[in-house]
Amino acid sequence: MYKVNDNYLKLPGSYLFSTIAKKVAAYSQEHPDRSIIRLGIGDVTQPLAPAIIDALHKAVDEMGHAETFHGYAPDLGYEFLRSAIVKGDYQSRGVELSVDEIFVSDGAKCDSGNIQEIFSLDNKIAVCDPVYPVYVDTNVMAGRTGKYNAEKEMFEGVIYMPCVEENGFAPELPEETPDLIYLCFPNNPTGSAITRDQLQTWVDYANRVGAVIIYDAAYEAYISEEEVPHTIYECEGAKTCAIELKSFSKNAGFTGTRLGYTVVPKELKQGDVSLNALWARRHGTKFNGAPYIVQRAGEAVYSEEGKEQLKKQVAYYMKNAKTIYEGLKSAGYSVSGGINAPYIWLKTPDGMTSWEFFDYLLEKANVVGTPGSGFGPHGEGYFRLTAFGSYENTVAAIDRIKALS
Ligand SMILES: Cc1ncc(COP(=O)(O)O)c(C=O)c1O
């Protein structure tokens, strides 16, 4: 008789965003006259930039003619996109990478979930708390953790690194030595960033203890401060200890178009075994390439017009971030994030739990955010608002929240 992968049974019930959706649906049904503003899920709202639309149209036309039709894309990505990435995201920052260290995919969620496959189940992972849930859940599914402790809201066998107000929402080096360290900066959900020097400490640590850092830089485009690194490879020695994940979702609005990439440097080796070769093997076996038209759209992100248009798009969202940050601050809330990231992390008032504040905001202001506790136990007492709404909705939401105090 067959057996299921019972690691899946360790995962606690409902997914955060489906619980939110259910609560919002129930509220709207009871109050059909209320207009609800959603600043919860981290999805973009601005349309694709004109340079990207042009590239898509052109590529679609090419697909309609035998001479320019494209079938299966190369597993690891088209050369035109991989070299645009090398030039646009790395050479421009003084980092030398070769095209075959870039692996194009359909987004960072899959990559951040799949990357653990090339590591032994004996490895111990360390994650920030609160955390983007994919890192933990995919390791649970693979069997790299123990059981879920419902009281502590933590999995056994995982090193949780608290990111709280006292440490500026930046993890400290763990007491127990991990093998795989997941870091995400600028951070989802806290919106915090770390400096180049802080990241260098992690790189030095990983090289010293023989750990690999899986560095999720999905929000890199939102960095505004000079001392915040845009890529982990700005740190010395990162090529021997770090894998970097990137997404086109937040810098270019590809949440529905789907494109991302992973960097696995050739210098990253365990003895004679190259992680670059392992990831190439995995990618080639299990992935059949991102669509040609989408890769052409991705190439347009690096064109002069594309860069100019996307700078404006990021600035639009960051204006929202500022509106939320300053509005809440003036209303007496304790807020962080929003400077190098499109997320604002606020402390719930009057000792409310994250979910109590969610209900309060939904009922009294008709504004939807995300309870911090959904990202891990150290998120309790916090709440996340995103800057990805329209400017008008953002202003209206903050006015409504201010009117409550
Ligand atoms: C930290 C982080 N990594 C990765 C992703 C997923 O990105 P993608 O749309 O490329 O799958 C998200 C999406 O919200 C995210 O917050």
Assess whether 263 and 140 both reside in one domain.
Answer: yes
The structure's pTM equals 0.97
Residue of 17, 109, 287 best suited for mutating to test ligand 1, as the one with most atoms within 8 Å of CB = 109
Identity at 287, one-letter amino acid code = F
CATH number reported for the structural domain that contains residue 42 in this entry: 3.90.1150.10
CATH number reported for the structural domain that contains residue 101 in this entry: 3.40.640.10
Which of ligand 1's atoms lies nearest the C-alpha of 189? 16
The reported pLDDT for the residue numbered 13 is: 74
Cβ of residue 112 lying under 6 Å from some atom of ligand 1: yes
Which of ligand 1's atoms lies nearest the C-alpha of 187? 1
Cβ of residue 370 lying under 6 Å from some atom of ligand 1: no
Whether residue 189 is preceded by a cis peptide bond, meaning omega within 30 degrees of 0, is yes
- How much distance in Å is there from the Cα of 53 to the middle of ligand 1? 22
Count of domains forming the chain: 2
Q: How far is CA 77 from the centre of its chain?
A: 21
Which residue owns the Cα nearest ligand 1 atom 1? 188
Assess whether 64 and 35 both reside in one domain.
Answer: no
Q: Domain containing 315: what range?
A: 8-47+305-404
The reported pLDDT for the residue numbered 18 is: 86
Cβ of residue 133 lying under 6 Å from some atom of ligand 1: no
Assess whether 285 and 332 both reside in one domain.
Answer: no
Assess whether 164 and 207 both reside in one domain.
Answer: yes
Assess whether 270 and 253 both reside in one domain.
Answer: yes
Cβ of residue 132 lying under 6 Å from some atom of ligand 1: yes
Whether 344 maps to a domain, the answer reads yes
Return the biggest CA–CA distance within the chain.
66
The reported pLDDT for the residue numbered 42 is: 87
Select from 303, 338, 357 the last residue of a domain: 303
The reported pLDDT for the residue numbered 17 is: 84
- How much distance in Å is there from the Cα of 103 to the middle of ligand 1? 16
Assess whether 309 and 299 both reside in one domain.
Answer: no
Whether 21 maps to a domain, the answer reads yes
Whether 209 maps to a domain, the answer reads yes
Assess whether 24 and 91 both reside in one domain.
Answer: no
Closest alpha carbon to 125 in 163, 172, 176, 191: 176
- Residue by residue, pLDDT tens for the chain (405 residues) are 999 999 999 998 767 888 899 999 999 999 999 999 999 988 999 999 999 999 999 999 999 999 999 999 998 999 999 999 999 999 999 999 999 999 999 999 999 999 999 999 999 999 999 999 999 999 999 999 999 999 999 999 999 999 999 999 999 999 999 999 999 999 999 999 999 999 999 999 999 999 999 999 999 999 999 999 999 999 999 999 999 999 999 999 999 999 999 999 999 999 999 999 999 999 999 999 999 999 999 999 999 999 999 999 999 999 999 999 999 999 999 999 999 999 999 999 999 999 999 999 999 999 999 999 999 999 999 999 999 999 999 999 999 999 997
Cβ of residue 249 lying under 6 Å from some atom of ligand 1: yes
Whether 172 maps to a domain, the answer reads yes
Whole-number Cα distances in Å, 378 to 60, 152, 161: 47, 10, 9
Whether 2 maps to a domain, the answer reads no
Q: Decide if 214 contacts 306 (C-beta within 8 A).
A: no
CA dist 35 and 400 (Å) reads 12
- How much distance in Å is there from the Cα of 334 to the middle of ligand 1? 26
- How much distance in Å is there from the Cα of 403 to the middle of ligand 1? 33
Assess whether 249 and 137 both reside in one domain.
Answer: yes
- How much distance in Å is there from the Cα of 245 to the middle of ligand 1? 9
Token pair of 223 as six digits: 């960095």
- How much distance in Å is there from the Cα of 271 to the middle of ligand 1? 31
CA dist 7 and 160 (Å) reads 19
Closest alpha carbon to 230 in 249, 214, 215, 212: 215
Whether 355 maps to a domain, the answer reads yes
Which of ligand 1's atoms lies nearest the C-alpha of 111? 11
Assess whether 268 and 342 both reside in one domain.
Answer: no
Residue of 43, 248, 250 best suited for mutating to test ligand 1, as the one with most atoms within 8 Å of CB = 250
Assess whether 370 and 267 both reside in one domain.
Answer: no
* Helix segments in 218-337, DSSP class H: 249-252, 275-286, 292-300, 304-330
Which residue owns the Cα nearest ligand 1 atom 16? 188
- How much distance in Å is there from the Cα of 260 to the middle of ligand 1? 9
Select from 303, 325, 353 the last residue of a domain: 303
Token pair of 233 as six digits: 């490879």
Cβ of residue 298 lying under 6 Å from some atom of ligand 1: no
Assess whether 287 and 253 both reside in one domain.
Answer: yes
Whether 57 maps to a domain, the answer reads yes
Whether 1 maps to a domain, the answer reads no
Assess whether 104 and 123 both reside in one domain.
Answer: yes
- How much distance in Å is there from the Cα of 343 to the middle of ligand 1? 13
Select from 252, 273, 303 the last residue of a domain: 303
